[in-house]
Amino acid sequence: MSELIKKVTQLLNDKTVDVFIGYGKGSADRIRAIFVRSAEQTEKLVLNSACTQNLAGYILKQEVKHLGKIGVLANVAALRSMLQLASEFQVKDGEVLALFANPDGTLTEFIDFHSIEVFLTTTDTGITSDEQERIAQLEALTVSERWNFWNKEFEKCIKCYACRAACPMCYCHRCTTDVNQPQWIPVASHERGNLDYHLMRAMHLAGRCVNCGECASACPMDIPLNLLTYQLISPIKTGFGATAGMKADAVYALSTYKPDDKENFII
């Protein structure tokens, strides 16, 4: 922890970064993201086992971007988010500095995408065994049982869009859900509009989701949204050989095609 404070103090003092996104104490016992802009504020940084949020979700927010050069305390999901955002031309090489906290208390500093790519090849980037089990249970259902499961989950959705705000890959300035001429997705929370929103969202995240789980963590209705996009990871890898967030110059699987792409998903 003191190493983190020392490092961030140095980065701010020598103007390597203008703002550092890290974890701090929130209300009650919660941990929240904080935006440190001076050496005096570094004392507010917290680093413990509750610090799991993918902070890369903030690096494209206009309120943060206008503060200047960004540094971020990045976990594996955040490093993958940075590479995925780079592959979508949202972040340039060298634009964001990332610090990774190693289990032994040391820090690894990443100043370019190549070093993140190399690091990720030796790191576990998969989903947890718990999540694997839940996906296996869903895949064991018949198509109509699975349809019913998701419809029941989506019925709970109150359209607060916290899932969208928390997702590092939901960065469109104007989301389809906000367009009202024509109104593609009904604003009110009801059966049909909820289904429209979640199907649209899942397809937009297909092959781009870095399995950080932030969408599900942010949901006040406990909808396990992350399982929907996690289920698409394997078909995208098998069908297109692509895994999100592993290379800065990767081509997004669903935005391109090759003449020999498999077509077995077309019924």
- Where on the chain is the footprint of ligand SF4 (CB under 6 A)? 157-163, 166-169, 205, 209-215, 218-221, 223, 225-226, 229
Tally Cβ neighbours within 10 Å of residue 14.
8
Cβ at position 53, least distance to ligand SF4 in Å: 10
- Distance between CA 10 and CA 8 in Å, rounded? 5
Is the bond preceding residue 224 a cis peptide, omega within 30 degrees? no
Alpha carbons 176 and 201: distance in angstroms, whole number = 9
Nearer to ligand SF4, 12 or 205 (CB): 205
Q: How far are the Cα atoms of 4, 185, 189 from residue 10, in angstroms, in the given order? A: 10, 47, 48
The single residue listed with the structure tokens 């993958």 is 80
Owner of token pair 């998903």: 265
Smallest gap from Cβ 197 to ligand SF4, in A, equals 7
Q: Which amino acid is located at 165 in the chain? A: A
For ligand SF4, the closer of residues 36 and 198 by Cβ is: 198
For residue 233, the minimal CB distance to ligand SF4 (Å) is 9
- Which residue bears the tokens 């390597």? 16
Cα 228 from Cα 95, distance rounded (Å): 31
CB of 136 to ligand SF4, least distance (A): 18
Joined tokens for residue 91: 């972040």
Nearer to ligand SF4, 22 or 245 (CB): 245
Residue 110 or 230: the one with the smaller Cβ distance to ligand SF4 is: 230
Nearest to 171 by CA among 217, 200, 194, 204: 204
- For residue 203, give the amino acid letter: M
Nearest to ligand SF4 of 9, 211 (CB atom): 211
Q: Which is nearer to ligand SF4, 19 or 201 (CB)?
A: 201
Least distance between ligand SF4 and beta carbon 256 (Å)? 20
| CA gyration radius, the chain | 19
Task: Give me the least distance between CB of 31 and ligand SF4, in Å please.
Answer: 17
> Considering the complex, what minimum distance in angstroms separates the CB of residue 231 from ligand SF4?
11
C-beta of 149 vs 161, nearer to ligand SF4 = 161
Strands across the sheet containing 107-110: 31-36, 19-25, 70-73, 96-101, 107-110
